[in-house]
Amino acid sequence: MNADWWRMARQPRWIAGLLAILVLAGGFAFLAQWQIGRAVAEATVVEVDSETPVAIQELLRPMTPQTRDDGGRRVTATGTWTQQSTVIYGRTQDGVDGQWLVRNMMVDGSCLPVAVGFAVSIDPAEFVVIDDSPSSISGRLVPSDDILANDIQTDRREVIAAADLINEWNCASMFDGYVVLDQATAPLETIHAAPPLPQAVLNWLNIFYAIEWIAFALFALYFWYRLVKDAVEREAEAAAEARP
């Protein structure tokens, strides 16, 4: 946009044209906002029965990713406890800083991390009791945490990541996630695991319509800019033809 364009754009007729375009673009923007509002208002709430316990094998297979709908559901599992355990630091419960004890339960030959309880300070040797007899547990299934480089550089773990524990516990296969027990064994405190919130699925058709209205608004502004530029070019061509 050179000086000639700005001179042309400041003429009254083009200023009036800009005002008309702004009104039109504002109308398009209003329609876009309306479509977004409809998309939110008409969002479909997906409710999953998260409180009826089901066998973990019905929701999740070892070495397969956990789906979004399965996270937070209550599950049951039957397996054998091993001596492998991990302390997770940086946990807070009821305003108190503490730790989680995570134990390994072998379920159908695969490792299942189980968060068994919370305490201010945990010595695994005090809580890990080896028992070869099968045990049944119930709790809430939680997705595995993302693993970061600084989470595995020291023995102080602050996340429960299947990708990390599968190496620490030397597992042939592992479930992608962990179970928070419904009831901890004293003196550990039961970990608070809240049920998942209902998920809303947006109406994507309305979203696409909103994008179209925004595109129309931008095109209206470009259209005015192009008209002014064409007027400048026609003026320049007329001046060139008038020269001897």
On whether the pTM is more than 0.85, the answer is no
Higher-confidence residue of 108 and 133: namely 108
Per the prediction, the chain carries an average pLDDT of 84
Q: Which residues contact 56 (CB under 8 A, 6 or more apart)?
A: 75, 76, 77, 107, 112, 141, 175, 179
Tokens of 227: 């008209």
**pLDDT at position 53 over 80:** yes
HSE of 200, CA atoms in CB hemisphere, 13 A:
7
Higher-confidence residue of 224 and 237: namely 224
pLDDT score of 103: 93
**pLDDT at position 189 over 90:** yes
> Residue range 187-212: average pLDDT?
78
**pLDDT at position 204 over 60:** yes
pLDDT score of 171: 94
**Which residue in the block uniquely carries the two structure tokens 């355990």?**
85
Q: What percent of the chain has pLDDT over 70?
A: 85
**Which residue in the block uniquely carries the two structure tokens 């998920």?**
199
Q: Is the dihedral of CA 63, 68, 71, 76 positive or negative?
A: negative
Cis, bond preceding 65 (omega within 30 deg of 0): no
> Residue range 37-51: average pLDDT?
65
Tokens of 87: 């302390």
> Residue range 86-99: average pLDDT?
92
**pLDDT at position 235 over 60:** yes
pLDDT score of 187: 86
Give the chain's largest Cα–Cα span.
107
**Which residue in the block uniquely carries the two structure tokens 């999953």?**
48
**pLDDT at position 200 over 70:** no
d(CA 87, CA 155): 9
Strands 96-107 and 178-181: unpaired
**pLDDT at position 12 over 80:** yes
* DSSP character at residue 220: H
Q: What's CA 228's distance to the chain center, in Å?
A: 46
So where are the chain's domains?
3-42+202-242, 54-198
**pLDDT at position 42 over 80:** no
Q: How confident is the model at residue 141 (pLDDT cuts 50, 70, 90)?
A: very high
> Residue range 67-86: average pLDDT?
86
**pLDDT at position 104 over 90:** yes
- If one counts every other C-beta atom within 10 angstroms of the C-beta of residue 105, the result is 22
Q: Does residue 201 contact residue 68 with C-beta atoms inside 8 Å?
A: no
pLDDT score of 174: 94
Q: Does residue 160 contact residue 115 with C-beta atoms inside 8 Å?
A: yes
* DSSP character at residue 70: T
> Residue range 196-204: average pLDDT?
64
